[in-house]
């Protein structure tokens, strides 16, 4: 199936709500429009939830749907001979747009939304994600959150009431080497997304932030009142987005929750998703790659820190628990809860040696490792203060156990390696 879309005559112009008499039906009507503009794809019927042709749009450059409220699409299925089709949109404003939903954390959140009976739509440019990580039947739009026209069309066509924003760059050393890339992808693109949300009347925004906004804190555990002083462009770029959300909420009434992640690890216990980074930077992922023979050894960066065993201590949270925290944050906003910034962790730390010892215990084999020099900027310990998230959200972690985190990560890595 092919969607042929005419070019917009006035790029970036979003009509006011109710500006078109046919807007009230909330539907995206299909009509043959000839060979103008960009192209998209329709998910095959075999992969649809309802077999009716859920649109999967793939865009290059500034090719987008027209801003007519009817959002006319041409959908032609040569195999099924459908000719003109009608693609219904949802106008109840309870659909959730998940940016970066083909990546590690985003894909787990999509699963959590589905498990909770929610309707997600994924927007991802596939720069680091994979299309295969999006469950069959979930509408998928390929493109950047910085493409204002594409985002506006997606928000309008699918009746989006909430945006969960995961799309961004996350590698700290890379952010130091390429700071302007991080400010563009994490801050400038987030600005464009927030503006599009305000124009479209999106009510709720849940943001994937990071404990890197705290920099080198001088106390443990780290609660949300700890001063923010990021020491790298990654943390700074995320903090700027938090500021934008705070100010947009004050000026325009946008309601939001920003979740500051500590160390996310593990994989879906049902094997539906996991970490797919081409270049692993997280300890448990690297350890799993060592177990599966993709690496010859694992480096421990420093063993002379002021911790119990001399290695760095971090607060590891299972990715599936993090995913359900986002669903709980959505429920919090839907029931009138206040805007929040919340730490996401378990409130307890594990050292590098403890993590690697658990990997050895799970596999029953010694792990080849070597002691390397400290990495600049690594704090000795980072542990989340979790009182606020426990008191604010209806959220109870289910996988608060290092063995479960390691076991699910290893199972996923073995699957990727074909073992």
Domain count, the chain: 1
Q: Which of 125, 96, 127, 91 is nearest to 111 (CA)?
A: 96
Q: What per-residue confidence (pLDDT) applies to 378?
A: 87
CA–chain centroid gap for 345, Å, is 17
User: Any residues with CB less than 8 A from the CB of 40 and at least 6 apart, and which?
Assistant: 2, 3, 5, 55, 56, 57, 58, 59
Q: Which two tokens stand for residue 402?
A: 């290092």
Strands (E), 22-61: 39-42, 55-58
Residue 8 pLDDT > 70: no
* Closest C-alpha to 69, from 152, 146, 10: 152
pLDDT for 89 equals 43
Average pLDDT over residues 284-312: 96
pLDDT confidence of residue 6: 33
Asked if the structure places residue 69 within a domain, the reply is: no
Determine the 3-state secondary structure of 355 from DSSP: helix
pLDDT at 277: 82
Active site residue 234: yes
d(CA 392, CA 388): 6
Query: 296 lies in a domain?
Result: yes
CB 274 within 8 A of CB 395: no
- The CA angle 159-146-89, to the nearest 5 degrees, is 15
Q: What is the mean pLDDT of the chain?
A: 82
Rounded to a whole number of angstroms, the distance between the first and last alpha carbons of the chain is 36
Q: How far apart are CA 32 and CA 30, in angstroms?
A: 7
Residue 171 and residue 281 in contact, taking contact as beta carbons nearer than 8 Å = yes
* HSE value, Cβ hemisphere, 13 Å, CA-based, for 259: 30
In a domain, 387, yes or no: yes
Residue 228 has pLDDT above 60, yes or no: yes
Among candidates 219, 209, 282, which has minimal Cα distance to 246? 209
Mean pLDDT of the 384-412 span: 98
Residue 99's pLDDT band (cuts 50, 70, 90): very high
Contact 106, 134 (CB under 8 A): no
> pLDDT at position 92, please?
55
Res 70 pLDDT > 80? no
Per-residue model confidence (pLDDT) at position 18: 31
Q: What is the mean pLDDT of residues 186-208?
A: 97
Condensed to tens digits (0 to 9), the pLDDT of residues 372-387 reads 999 887 889 999 999 9
pLDDT band (50, 70, 90) for residue 281: confident
Smallest CA-to-CA distance from 48 within 85, 94, 4 is with 85
Q: For 33-58, how does the pLDDT look when each residue is reduced to its tens digit (9 = 90+)?
A: 222 233 333 333 233 333 333 344 44
Residue 163 falls inside a structural domain: no
Specify the pTM. Answer: 0.81
Residue 127 has pLDDT above 60, yes or no: yes
**376 lies in some domain:** yes
* Catalytic position from the list 182, 234, 256, 346: 234
210, pLDDT greater than 60: yes
Residue 339 tokens read as 């805007």
Distances (CA, A) of 100 to 85, 133, 174, 252, 320: 28, 11, 19, 25, 16
Q: What are phi and psi of 322, to 5 degrees?
A: -60, -40
| Domain ranges, residue 298 | 283-317+346-416
Which is more confident, 417 or 150?
150
Please give the average per-residue pLDDT across 143-170, as a whole number: 96
Give 22's DSSP letter: G
Q: How confident is residue 279, by pLDDT bands cut at 50, 70 and 90?
A: confident
Chain segment 335-394, per-residue pLDDT in tens? 999 999 999 999 999 999 999 999 999 999 999 999 999 988 788 999 999 999 999 999
81 C-beta neighbours (distance < 10 Å), count: 7
Asked whether residue 400 is domain-assigned, the answer is yes
Residue 59 lies in a domain: no
User: What is the spatial distance between Cα 156 and Cα 304, in angstroms, rounded to a whole number?
Assistant: 55
Residue 365 inside a domain? The answer is: yes
Say which CATH number the domain at 399 has.
Answer: 3.90.25.10
Average pLDDT over residues 398-413: 98
Dist CA 388 CA 211 (whole Å): 15
- pLDDT score of 399 more than 90: yes
């Amino acid at each position: 199936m092919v969607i042929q879309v005419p070019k917009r005559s006035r790029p970036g112009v979003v009509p006011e709500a109710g500006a078109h008499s046919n807007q009230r039906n909330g539907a995206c009507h299909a009509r043959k429009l000839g060979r103008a503009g960009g192209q998209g794809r329709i998910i095959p019927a075999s992969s649809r939830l309802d077999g009716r042709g859920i649109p999967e749009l793939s865009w290059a450059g500034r090719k987008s749907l027209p801003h007519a409220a009817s959002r006319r699409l041409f959908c032609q299925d040569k195999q099924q001979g459908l000719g003109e089709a009608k693609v219904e949109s949802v106008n109840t404003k309870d659909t959730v747009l998940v940016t970066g939903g083909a990546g590690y954390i985003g894909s787990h959140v999509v699963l959590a939304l589905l498990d909770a009976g929610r309707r997600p739509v994924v927007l991802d440019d596939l720069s680091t994600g994979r299309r295969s990580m999006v469950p069959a039947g979930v509408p998928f739009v390929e493109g950047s959150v910085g493409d204002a026209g594409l985002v506006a069309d997606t928000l309008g066509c699918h009746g989006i009431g909430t945006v969960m924003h995961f799309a961004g760059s996350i590698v700290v050393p890379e952010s130091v080497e390429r700071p302007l890339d991080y400010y563009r992808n994490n801050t400038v693109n987030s600005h464009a997304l927030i503006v599009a949300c305000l124009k479209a009347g999106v009510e709720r925004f849940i943001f994937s932030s990071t404990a890197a906004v705290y920099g080198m804190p001088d106390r443990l555990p780290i609660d949300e009142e700890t001063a923010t002083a990021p020491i790298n462009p990654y943390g700074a770029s995320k903090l700027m987005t938090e500021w934008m959300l705070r100010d947009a909420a004050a000026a325009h009434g946008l309601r939001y929750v920003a979740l500051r992640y500590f160390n996310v690890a593990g994989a879906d216990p049902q094997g539906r998703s996991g970490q797919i980074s081409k270049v692993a930077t997280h300890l448990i992922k690297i350890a799993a790659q060592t177990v599966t023979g993709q690496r010859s050894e694992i480096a421990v960066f420093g063993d002379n820190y002021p911790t119990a065993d001399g290695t760095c201590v971090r607060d590891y949270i299972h990715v599936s628990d993090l995913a359900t925290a986002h669903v709980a944050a959505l429920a919090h906003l839907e029931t009138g809860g206040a805007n929040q910034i919340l730490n996401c962790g378990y409130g307890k730390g594990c050292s590098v040696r403890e993590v690697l010892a658990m990997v050895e215990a799970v596999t029953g084999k010694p792990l080849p490792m070597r002691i390397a020099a400290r990495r600049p900027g690594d704090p000795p310990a980072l542990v989340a203060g979790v009182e606020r998230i426990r008191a604010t959200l209806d959220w109870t972690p289910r996988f608060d156990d290092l063995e479960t985190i390691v076991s699910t990560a290893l199972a996923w890595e073995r699957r990727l390696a074909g073992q």
